[in-house]
Amino acid sequence: MTPSRKEYLYQLSDLSENSHTAEYLVTVIEKVIEGIGEDRICAVVSDNAANEKLGERLLKRVNILTTFFRSSHQANAKLAQIIKEKGISGGGLKLYCKIRWTTASESVNSVINLESALEEMASDHDKVLTNDKIKPII
């Protein structure tokens, strides 16, 4: 959508010959985003119900992870220390909120940004990961 509130359709593609797996769709969408420019995209629309379910499961896991670290003082302090030691910028974990659709990408990106710190938590500081659901998510 432009500042004057006009919307543009960039591309229609017949993808019927390919299996619509999440991996394939990500590849196709990434090519389009690269062609347009990441800073010029505000939304990607899909009607693939199976991949929407996959996205919902991913966001649920992100929220479980984020909620745990927000509620565990010890785990949150250790994660903050690792983030500082690694020089990771961009803030901490962010919750997904259904009301604000932009939080979906922000919350997933926060986990991706902190991937190395979270992996270190799981491997070297697993004693502070007191919730059984956390380590498998990491």
DSSP letters of the chain?
--TTS----------TTS---HHHHHHHHHHHHHHH-GGG--------HHHHHHHHHHHHHHHHHHHHHHH-HHHHHHHHHHHHHHT--S-S----BTTBTHHHHHHHHHHHHTHHHHHHHHHH-GGG--STTHHHH-
Mean pLDDT, range 53-68, rounded to an integer = 85
Where residue 87 falls among pLDDT bands split at 50, 70, 90?
very high
What pLDDT was estimated at residue 49? 66
- CB neighbour list of residue 86: distance below 8 Å, 6 or more residues apart: 116, 117
The structure's pTM equals 0.61
Is the pLDDT confidence value at 102 over 60?
yes
Residue with tokens 């062609």: 35
What pLDDT was estimated at residue 126? 87
What pLDDT was estimated at residue 37? 79
What pLDDT was estimated at residue 96? 84
The domain segmentation of the chain, as residue ranges, is: 1-46, 49-137
Mean pLDDT, range 108-114, rounded to an integer = 89
What pLDDT was estimated at residue 45? 67
Mean pLDDT, range 67-87, rounded to an integer = 94
**Pair 137, 65: CB distance under 8 Å:** yes
What pLDDT was estimated at residue 48? 66
Helix orientation angle between 115-124 and 102-113, rounded to the nearest 10 degrees: 50
Mean pLDDT, range 71-99, rounded to an integer = 90
**Other C-beta atoms lying within 10 Å of the C-beta of residue 61:** 17
What pLDDT was estimated at residue 43? 67
